Structure 1
Amino acid sequence: MQNKEKRHFTDIIDSFKGKEIIVIGDIMLDQFVKGSVSRISPEAPVPVVYVEEEDFIAGGAGNVAVNLAVLGAKPKILSVIGKDLKGTILKGYLKDKGVDVSALVTDDNRPTTQKVRIIAERQQVVRVDRESKERICPPIAKECMKNFKKAVKTAKGVVMSDYGKGMLSDHNIEEIINICRAKNIPVCVDPKIDNFLKYKRITCMTPNTKEAWEGMGLPPKKDNAAIINLGKKILKTLDAESILITRSAEGMTLFEKGAKPKVTTIKATAKEVYDVTGAGDTVISVLTLALACGASLPDAAYISNKAAGIVVAKLGTATATVEEIKEVL
């Protein structure tokens, strides 16, 4: 990379600081219980885990918000938690990470989504999920939209982080997109299959290859030509400005709207891949933030690809810092 080009990307990254980004979607508390095994339970053929360490982190849309905070942005999380200890822990964790939690809504009749992972000898033994996948009720949805309309007045970008837990529904998806378009701010989507075709007229969607095929209801194919045709089909179906399909070891492919769609494939940059957990959250965080700073779609995708390469080289749910991204440039 030439010095002039590197300076261009560095200027974009430097402008991340202080940008207000709204993250709206499904939030969850990830709990990791780690320990060792020395015997099998006499009650059932399962290992007995002696707990040595226990950690709590924000998952789902919460991890997107934390990614943004690490990058120097000012993220505001808009989601629903329960009136329970899990919600209190989650809210406290986010505040400690620099995320604005003032737009969180508490639902007395809904539990905070939690995923408990039991890990023994570096091997996940079991995962326990506590959650409701029902759509949020109308009064709660109305309160969420009220908070969104207030927050979007000063926001520079919006991330819709859909984990299929009921936060995002037909009506609020359409309303959020319409508001963003009216204000001319980027709105980017990390989709789940149920709502895939509802995200019309957005700035960008960032499905992985599996989500892209399933979202369109098509059987997966591995050849590059099929991926190119798929991306163009999604772009046209959603009438989106762009689609960014993340393709693991093959990098990512950007599709931009036009009379003849522009297709750009960006090669993966990670030299070693230890853990892909959270890489999608990093991609959409960096992409949206770069677009909010005025970057072009190809430049935003390029920087997000560099950030993803950093994250997959780390163990566990990780984030990329501004300094790390600059270094790999």
Structure 2
Amino acid sequence: MAVSPLPPALALATHAGSAAIRRSGLCRGCERSAKMSSLISAVEAGMTLVPACEVVARLPELQGRTVLVVGDVVLDRYVVGRASRLSREAPVPVLVHEQSFALPGSAANPALNIQAVGSRAIQAAVIGEDQAGDELAGLLASAGVDIRSLLRSPQRRTCVKQRILARGSLRFPQQVARIDWMDETPLSEQHVQQLAGEVRERSAAVDAILLSDYQGGATGGAVLEACLAEQEGRGVPVCVDAQGDLWQYRGVYCIKCNREEAMRATGRNLDTEADYASATDQVMTALGARIVAITRGAAGMALRHSQAGYLSLPAVNRTEVFDVVGAGDTVIALMTLGIAAGWDVRLLATVAQLGAGIVIQRLGNATPSLQELEQAAWRWLPPTSGEASA
């Protein structure tokens, strides 16, 4: 399959060269180092993170974008209690209730991440006409997300995941159980066509489309076809966070998955850089994508770009890990915004890694702000391009 065309913003950035460096507002020393780094091989460049001074100068470019987020949304509920003793009824802890709260989850979390950095998210999904649906819609609306494409159906149940957490001597409570209320019936053809219609109607005013696949059926078939038609016709890049079948996403601009999902899809063990290089090449060849990303947890991220080749970036935060829920959502949200802004692949991957590093320090789905990304850049990245990355 032919490689998808570059969106105008990214095509411009690809050929901008030193002019883009000058516009970024870097100091002269950083500008000289950036020009020099462009002469080394893509793989060598990919083994280092973008320096803090460049990241901080470019972060404001994430603001003012509009992204259509399509996918399988969930209401995440949390019940937190203090572990007081073991129950006499069974070998389980007795929890004294401390707090309960709810957050938008799954495909709703990237929308919150987009809002948190000063851009606009349009949420397209199907939920039930029930109390959980009311709560989820209200939480999204209160965060500023456009919910006019959030479809309500009396035939559907809003999916809920309730986590039970025990607070002990550790800084963060530990999850001891999760209860899921899921609607396992496939989306009806009517709902799929309605979602596809929302894609066609709303895409005229967006900078990118993000498909968040949590295997609920909201991102394939006619919905995917409508997204690809917008990419082909308007140059709107389609970015996918795939938990299900990677191979259905032929023609998308960018696709991201984690290590386990990549191994399942490719049939490969992923242990060495050579393994990741081969796997990303296999996925890119099959899908014709411009960017393929595999998140590797504490080992960072492996990427392949159709022009820059294979890249490998280390994780910025390897030690302060408390809750990994939502980290992948933050990564795809920031990568999508970076693509919409015309960033090169190393910059967008570095910022995505910063976002993930912040999220894993917190309980539940977290949404880093621009200020927090800036603080993380100065904390975790080399200040200038002349210093080695951590």
TM more than 0.5: yes
Q: Distance in 2 between matches of 1:56 and 1:188?
A: 27
Partner of 1:234: 283
Instruction: Report which stretch shifted further, 126-135 or 19-28.
Output: 126-135
- Amino acid across the alignment from 1:249: A
SS of alignment partner, residue 117 of structure 1? strand
Match of 1:247 among 296, 300, 309: 296
Evaluate the alpha carbon distance shift between residue 153 and residue 124 of structure 1 in structure 2; reply closer, same or farther with a 3 A threshold: same
- Amino acid across the alignment from 1:247: R
Q: Deviations over 1:20-73 (max 9, x none)?
A: 111100100000001124345555554433322001001001111000000100
Quick check: 1:66 aligned with 2:112? yes
Partner of 1:38: 84
Partner of 1:204: 254
Partner of 2:150: 104
Quick check: 1:138 aligned with 2:186? no
Instruction: Report which stretch shifted further, 245-254 or 231-240.
Output: 245-254
Instruction: Report which stretch shifted further, 105-114 or 45-54.
Output: 45-54
Q: Distance in 2 between matches of 1:291 and 1:52?
A: 42
Q: Distance in 2 between matches of 1:213 and 1:176?
A: 26
CA contact (8 A) 1:268 1:309 kept: yes
Q: Distance in 2 between matches of 1:183 and 1:139?
A: 26
CA contact (8 A) 1:19 1:156 kept: yes
- Amino acid across the alignment from 2:338: A
Quick check: 1:305 aligned with 2:353? yes
CA contact (8 A) 2:262 2:294 kept: yes
CA contact (8 A) 1:22 1:157 kept: yes
Question: Structure 2, unaligned stretches of length 5 or more?
Answer: 1-25, 35-51, 168-172, 379-390
CA contact (8 A) 2:77 2:101 kept: yes
Match of 1:147 among 194, 198, 213: 198
Evaluate the alpha carbon distance shift between residue 43 and residue 268 of structure 1 in structure 2; reply closer, same or farther with a 3 A threshold: closer
CA contact (8 A) 1:196 1:215 kept: yes
Q: Distance in 2 between matches of 1:227 and 1:3?
A: 31
Partner of 2:265: 215
- Amino acid across the alignment from 1:189: V
Q: Distance in 2 between matches of 1:10 and 1:186?
A: 24
Quick check: 1:267 aligned with 2:317? no
Q: Distance in 1 between matches of 2:108 and 2:219?
A: 15
Question: Structure 1, unaligned stretches of length 5 or more?
Answer: none
Q: Distance in 1 between matches of 2:311 and 2:175?
A: 37
Partner of 2:13: none
State the number of aligned residues.
Answer: 325
Specify which structure has the bigger relative contact order, considering alpha-carbon pairs within 8 angstroms and separated by 6 or more residues.
Answer: 2
SS of alignment partner, residue 63 of structure 1? helix
Distance apart, 1:307 and its partner CA: 2.0
SS of alignment partner, residue 320 of structure 1? coil
Instruction: Report which stretch shifted further, 45-54 or 84-93.
Output: 45-54
Q: Deviations over 1:53-94 (max 9, x none)?
A: 001001001111000000100101100111110000011111
CA contact (8 A) 1:133 1:166 kept: no
Match of 1:285 among 333, 336, 361: 333
Identity percentage over the alignment? 30
Q: Distance in 2 between matches of 1:94 and 1:47?
A: 34
User: Larger Rg: 1 or 2?
Assistant: 2
Match of 1:118 among 164, 168, 172: 164
Quick check: 1:178 aligned with 2:225? no
TM-score of the superposition, structure 1-length normalised? 0.92
CA contact (8 A) 1:134 1:166 kept: no
Q: Distance in 2 between matches of 1:10 and 1:49?
A: 43
Q: Deviations over 1:96-142 (max 9, x none)?
A: 11111111001111110100111122232211100113321111222
Q: Distance in 1 between matches of 2:225 and 2:198?
A: 16
